[in-house]
Structure 1
Amino acid sequence: MTSGALYIGLMSGTSTDGVDGVLADLADPHHPLIRAHVSLPMPEPLRQEFLALNTKGSNELQRAALAGNALARLYAAAIRELLEQSGNIAQSIRAVGAHGQTVRHDPAAGYTLQINAPALLAELSGIDVIADFRSRDVAAGGQGAPLVPAFHQAVFSASIPRAILNLGGIGNVTLLHPGEPVRGFDTGPANVLLDLWCKEKTGQAYDVDGRWAASGRSHPALLEALLRQEPWFDLPPPKSTGRDLFNHAWLAQRLAPFLAQGIADTDVQATLQSLTARTVAEAIERHAPAIREVWVCGGGALNSALMSELGQALGRPVHPTSGLNIPVQLVEALAFAWLAQAYDQGQAAGLPTVTGARHPSVLGCRYPA
């Protein structure tokens, strides 16, 4: 391993299903090498607390602080496993990039909130922690999201126009055109509504490989209602979103007349899958029609039914990023290792062409061990 180029990246996303971690050698930041990786499930009580903190509730300040401490301990457990896999080389790790758990995101109001306890994580791990990646860009008038397009540009650029699509809870796309500034924005719900409906109706955390959706049929009228009754979809980039908008209340309001007509639960699931595919396809067609191929990461890339429908909607080749030698579930964790290095090097990863900020910004804040 290369001394001085080792970073750990940790990510717990909108789906709140777990923590992914990587230990990466970033001696060549355009060709990162993953030396170890780990995925730990989110304990159900912590997951439910994060979901509850997405909306107003009682005693929020204390609950958020305690949830941050619990997340730091989970992050520390992930770091221990990474170090065990790699020979306990904590002294060689330059820093840990730890994003925290986003529970509120409203850049129009000038704030974004990630629950985290980076000082505690630095204490527990004995390694410097770099966190708070969104707020500097928001302070400069930007969306603070998506965070990863600079990383995507560094590691995924090619000689043809290419899109990198992350299908986590929320979908976001990075548009890579040779010789042009990188662009990126959120496309809307990816798995967040699919998982919500599946959990509510089947008790399962998610629809494995889209099998439950495949047992139903997409409902054209419901799909159009979901698309046309939400003004956010028609907003131009830069734009970002989250559970603040796409949540149970949003879905329940739009489903009500269709449930009254007796629509099948499986048809709702199939329609929500179509919503993900359609919003991605319309966003790319509207804002980057020259894109030739789409590479997909995040949990949605493991859903073959969704990937197939996405390919049909896009009319372009759609591939998992594992075909580019980065496993789909590790792209975002690797991105936060890369962002930690970018902070160390004073590299501006907050890009106005992505977020709409007034100027580029170095993202993050360091918490020494």
Structure 2
Amino acid sequence: MQNYTIGLMSGTSLDGADGVLVDFSDPQLKVVATATELFSNSFRAELLALNTPAHNELHRAALAGNQLAAVYAQVVHTLVTQAAAQGIAPAQIQAVGAHGQTVRHQPQRTSQDAAGAGYTLQLNNPALLAELTGLDVVADFRSRDVAAGGQGAPLVPAFHQRVFGRADATVTVLNLGGIANLSVLPHQGGSPVLGFDCGPGNALMDAWCQQHTGQPFDAGGAWAASGQPIAALLASLLHEPYFSQPIPKSTGRDLFSPAWLAEKLAPFAAARAEDIQNTLTEFTASACATGVKSYGNESKELIVCGGGAFNHHLLQRLQARLPFLRVSTSDLHGLPPLQVEATAFAWLARQMLARQAGNLPGVT
């Protein structure tokens, strides 16, 4: 019997929604359809604004959740249409895994009573998505873990182990979305799987590029490569206390925000824009490489996925900082970089339906 599940993902890069239809009928999962819907500039700006307190934000957040559900529904419609062309009926699709758009992530407990529990908030309207698609929807993946005292993030290491784990060698997987997260996958019989957020992935680089070039991202890292690193700025960026915190840990735009970056950049007002872009790229590479050295130094390979996998300059800087392993992209291991996270949420939805765990307590 064939088992199909749809996974949807819109990450902290705020560029759009990716969707996949995955066939789980065999041990080797297979992506049978893919679709992407880009966010409009106005919707992207609204999602970014909702990451910080604002006027009438409850009403605006509800409307944004509705709009996101409409975008998700369009992705699902495209996937269902592709599936029908392959003889796959909607009734064969078990569920849609829809993560939503994270706008607050505060998992830290503030007191020991229930009111002091941490929280994580993703904009979404799963009920509307179910109504628009006629399919079951699995959502709100992080909250139960946070309620139990966990970080609620990252959720992908268990899936990374399922897809990229090896019996004969330790492997690390780096997801370079808006925020970068690392999975350390020990060889068979090794220590438990580890995973944590390294810090910024593309978020700060993209914001600076948009501000100074009008482009949503630095294609291939070419603009960063034209500049030079500013050592004092890099040191200031890396001085952020988050980097010295032990794992498990997670972060997001709550910390690494435009306001945080503006404060760090204030003493460097005379610096060239391309030199700052170079330094922001070096900042991401340094934070990620430090995570690998601290927790995955037995690894033989770093598998990179997410939008940052297409930043050739960033990958070069990672390789330079990690000469003891091979830096590769996930397409060389059977799953294209832009499909990994959406496929993960298809798998997480399937885990929920089977009443199987999706997270790993050692990670979250």
Give the structure 2 partner of residue 70 of structure 1.
67
| Match runs of 1:131-210 below 5 Å | 131-158=139-166, 159-178=168-187, 179=189, 180-210=191-221
AA paired with 2:201?
A: A
Match of 2:351 among 339, 342, 347: 342
Report the Cα distance in structure 2 between the residues aligned to 1:40 and 1:347, rounded to whole angstroms. 30
| DSSP 3-state at the match of 1:48 | helix
Name the structure 2 match of 1:7.
5
SS in 2 for 1:27: coil
Structure 1 residue aligned with 2:251, among 234, 241, 264?
A: 241
Q: 1:350 and 1:136 mapped to 2: Cα distance?
A: 10
Q: 4+ runs of 1 displaced by more than 2 Å?
A: none
Q: Deviations over 1:219-244 (max 9, x none)?
A: 1111111102x000111110000000
Deviation at 1:351, TM superposition (A): 1.4
Structure 2 counterpart SS, 1:7: strand
Counterpart position of 2:129:
121
TM-score (norm 2): 0.94
Matches within 5 A, 1:7-26: 7-26=5-24
Q: CA deviation at 1:288?
A: 2.2
Identity of aligned residues (%): 53
Q: Equivalent of 2:33, from 26, 31, 36? A: 36
Deviation of 1:317 after TM superposition, in Å, equals 0.6
Structure 2 residue identity aligned to 1:255: L
> Which of the numbers 295, 301, 316 marks the counterpart of 1:293?
301
Aligned residues: 349
In structure 2, the residue matched to 1:364 is: none
Where 2:129 maps in the other structure, the secondary structure is helix
Shift of 1:86: 1.4
2:332 is aligned, of 312, 315, 323, to 323
The amino acid that maps onto 1:177 is P
Q: Look up the equivalent residue of 1:81 and give its one-letter code.
A: T
- C-alpha deviation, 1:253, in angstroms: 0.6
SS in structure 2 opposite 1:319?
strand
Question: What does residue 89 of structure 1 align with?
Answer: 89
Distance, in Å, in 1 between the alignment partners of 2:105 and 2:315 is 28
Partners of 2:141 and 2:260 in 1: CA distance: 28
Q: Secondary structure, in 3 states, of the residue corresponding to 1:354?
A: coil
1:328 maps to amino acid? P
TM-fit CA distance, 1:144 = 0.1
- Give me the whole-angstrom Cα distance separating, in 2, the residues matched to 1:44 and 1:89: 34
CA distance in 2, matches of 1:74, 1:286: 39
Give the alignment partner of residue 235 of structure 2, picking from 217, 224, 240.
224
- Matched residue, 1:106: 106
Distance 1:288 1:156 in 2: 15
Q: CA deviation at 1:325?
A: 1.1
Q: Does 1:250 align with 2:247?
A: no
* Deviation at residue 322 of structure 1 after TM alignment: 0.1
Worse overlay, 117-126 or 212-221: 212-221
* Residue aligning to 1:55: 52
Tell me the equivalent position of 1:214: 225
**What residue number does 1:361 align with?**
none
| In 2, Cα distance between equivalents of 1:245 and 1:292 | 32
Which of the numbers 314, 317, 321 marks the counterpart of 2:322?
Answer: 314
Q: Secondary structure at the match of 1:282?
A: helix
Q: Distance in 2 between matches of 1:323 and 1:284?
A: 20
Whole-angstrom CA distance in 2 between matches of 1:49 and 1:212? 27
1:145-173 Cα shifts (integer Å, max 9, x gaps): 00111111111111201001100000000
Amino acid at match of 1:220: A
Would you say the 8 A contact 2:184–2:295 is kept in 1?
Answer: no
1:118-159 Cα distance to aligned partner (Å, 9 max, x none): 000000000000000000100110000001111111111112
Provide the rounded CA distance (Å) in 1 between the counterparts of 2:228 and 2:90. 51
Q: Tell me the TM-score normalised to structure 1 length.
A: 0.93
CA apart distance, 1:350: 2.0
CA displacement, residues 313-345 of structure 1 (integer Å, 9 cap, x when unaligned): 112210000001100000000000000110011
Shift of 1:181: 1.7
Q: Distance in 1 between matches of 2:249 and 2:70?
A: 32
Which residue type is aligned with residue 83 of structure 1? V
Shift of 1:182: 1.1
For 1:177 and 1:350, the matched residues in 2 are separated by 17
